Amino acid sequence: MDVAKDLFRYLEKIPGGQLIITSTDAIFNWGRANSLWYMLFGLKCCAIEGIMAAGASRFDLDRFGMIFRASPRQSDLMIVAGTVTAKMAPRLKKLYEQMSEPRYVLAMGSCAITGGAFYYDSYSAVKGVDNLIPVDVYVPGCPPRPEAVIEGFMKLQAKIKKESILKR
């Protein structure tokens, strides 16, 4: 992306003021959207598609600037890939709290979105990870193909590019 050309689109004056801050936003967002380091949070079968297959050379998340981190403190994005059980729920919350702002969550697969196949008659599945933490992008499927997950990342990038450091 040509940043210099893009900056122009973001230029905007604050009413009554002379300061222009949106260009700062553009640079921040450009950096954030293109270096989404994601945390390894594979809980079940979805991890194979969303984290392992998508991260390996065929689908290659590196070209989006996405590198996996094994620590929540270094990551910006949590891909919740799989069923969250009642026992995992407090740990998931704790890991989310350890991530530094700005942080994003992508709920991957029907299990993470609603409980999926374990919605009925399950004593342990949490019915949707959005009961625990705020979710930015949902990628449906069981499991979603890596292409679908990449589409989800691009949706997230589009969302990040619309953000402002003032609002966050």
Partner 1 sequence: MSEEKKIAAAELLIECRKLQATYDYLPFMTAIDYPEKNIIELVYRLQSTATNETLMLKVELPRDKAEVSSLISVWPAADWHEREVYDMFGVKFIGHPDLRRILLPPDWQGYPLLKDYTDPNMIKKPVTI
Annotated binding residues, written as ranges, equal 45-46, 111, 142
**Residue 119 contact, options ligand SF4, partner 1, none, Cβ 5-8 Å cut-off depending on partner type:** partner 1
**81 neighbors 50 (Cβ within 8 angstroms):** yes
List of residues contacting partner 1 (CB under 8 A)? 86-87, 119-124, 127
Is 17 exposed, middle or buried, given 0-12, 13-18 or 19+ CB atoms closer than 10 A?
Answer: exposed
**51 neighbors 92 (Cβ within 8 angstroms):** no
- Under the binding rule (CB under 6 A), the answer on residue 128 touching ligand SF4 is no
Selected binder of ligand SF4 within 82, 128, 146, 152 (CB under 6 A): 82
**Residue 122 contact, options ligand SF4, partner 1, none, Cβ 5-8 Å cut-off depending on partner type:** partner 1
Residues in the chain: 168
Q: Least CB distance from residue 44 to ligand SF4, whole Å?
A: 4
Selected binder of ligand SF4 within 26, 33, 39, 46 (CB under 6 A): 46
Q: Least CB distance from residue 120 to partner 1, whole Å?
A: 4
**Residue 123 contact, options ligand SF4, partner 1, none, Cβ 5-8 Å cut-off depending on partner type:** partner 1
Residues that bind ligand SF4 (CB under 6 A): 44-46, 82-83, 109-111, 116-117, 142-143
